[in-house]
Amino acid sequence: MIKFRLTLLSFLQFFIWGSWLITIGAFWFKTKQWDSQDFGVIFSTMGIAALFMPAITGILADRHISAQKLYGILHLLGGIGLATVPSAVSPSDMFWRILATMIFYMPTLSLSSTVAYHILTNRGEDVIKAFPPIRVWGTVGFIAALWTVSLTHNEVSANQFYIGAVVSVILGLYAFTFPDCPPLGKNSRGKSGIINILGLDSFSLLKNPTYFVFFMFSMLLGAALQLTNAYGDTFIHEFESIPEYTHSLAVRYPAMIMSISQISETLFILAIPFFMKRFGIKQVMLISMFAWVLRFALFAFGNPTEGLWMIIMSCIIYGMAFDFFNVSGSLYIEKSVSPSIRSSAQGLFTMMVNGIGAILGSIGSGFLIQKYFVDPTSGVKNWQSIWLTFSAYSLVVAIAFIFLFKSPEKTDSAVTSS
């Protein structure tokens, strides 16, 4: 019964994000008709919020408040914030509204894992085996949201934000019905030192070379993730201005095509336990990096008709690119970090991926696209060059990772911190 309840929690967690994350670009460019550079800044709100909120809420969950209660409060506030987004009348106005919303939503990504890990561990479950089948339903929730928005033709409508807001409030209330997940770091408050007093113990992990490199590359891969979230749906939408593609299935239902990425996730999530135990964290993350190279390269040469297979293949590869990095990284932390700072460490991981990484990816890509890949006369974007540039970036990151990351052979043999 508890696994079913955690499955529903995971489903709703990602339904909220899926209702607008991929389609916000279409709303921005088609409905609001604002430019690329401003969009890059707007999309960075997730990164800005993730710079500090996951770390702060991780500390709170480790030391001061039960994780499921904090999780519920954040979703209630996030739902209210999301409902205000459509009222924005300018890019700067929308920036502040989305930032406020993301301040509440971003920490729930790591807290949802914290709640699940705590409950499963207390029931004697093997987290590496038990968590992926639960987490996969988060991806199903993301797909369900995309299809809901697409089939109701709300991809360029304000309704996408209202749908997410309603589900966020429902999940916030639901969270309070879960078993208690009390702070596990309370006993360490008697220790001396300003770092311990402030609950910043997880940052000491950065002194360990293995963890330092792990978190740095998490940041760089986080930038790649933001690129595909920000521009994938918009890329397909812009084919509608070309007569031969206007009535193609992909242009009519771009969010449904993009949802293939999430369908692929459901398969690769279930493969994580095998790959983690067989190959270890370094090989799994390296596979993810080369998958990003292919993801972007296939987009570069794809189109909605004869090249549709390339777009579909890119979406399938996304499942490996995302899961083998994001989900495996979270499990790596859960298995290798001391229980007293796990919530904080998960928050640090989210900060690097969705905080610093998101800011680098969002603002950097917005600037580069506007400066080098947009025709100043027509405003048309050179999508092939854009995607090839992203692919080259991912390749450089992958090659550097091979030489710089020294990981234990097995996940559970990583150095712990207490």
Q: Which residue's structure tokens are 């109701």? A: 152
Confidence band, pLDDT 50/70/90 cuts, at residue 167: very high
Domain locations in the chain as residue ranges: 2-183+193-413
Q: Which residue has the higher pLDDT, 143 or 417?
A: 143
Secondary structure of 277-324 as H, E, C letters: HHHHHHHHHHHHHHHHHHHHHHHHHCCCCCCHHHHHHHHHHHHHHHHH
Confidence band, pLDDT 50/70/90 cuts, at residue 201: low
Would the pLDDT of 189 be above 70?
Answer: no
In this structure, of 177-191, 372-386, 392-406, the range with the lowest mean pLDDT score is 177-191
Count of CB atoms within 10 A of residue 158's CB?
A: 15
Kindly state the tokens that stand for 192.
Answer: 């001396």
Provide the pLDDT for residue 413.
40
Cα dihedral 215, 210, 322, 393, rounded to 10, equals 70
Query: What is the average pLDDT value for the chain, to the nearest integer?
Result: 83
pLDDT tens digits, residue range 275-319?
A: 888 888 788 889 999 999 999 999 999 988 899 999 999 999 998
CA dist 323 and 165 (Å) reads 26
Provide the pLDDT for residue 375.
83
For a pLDDT cut of 90, what percent of the chain falls above it?
A: 26
Provide the pLDDT for residue 193.
47
Question: Which of the listed CATH numbers 3.30.10.20, 2.40.50.140, 3.30.2130.30, 1.20.1250.20 matches domain 2-183+193-413?
Answer: 1.20.1250.20
pLDDT tens digits, residue range 308-317?
A: 999 999 999 9
Would the pLDDT of 360 be above 50?
Answer: yes
Q: Which residues contact 65 (CB under 8 A, 6 or more apart)?
A: 183
pTM attached to this predicted model: 0.69
Query: Mean pLDDT across the stretch 115-125?
Result: 88
CA dist 6 and 199 (Å) reads 28
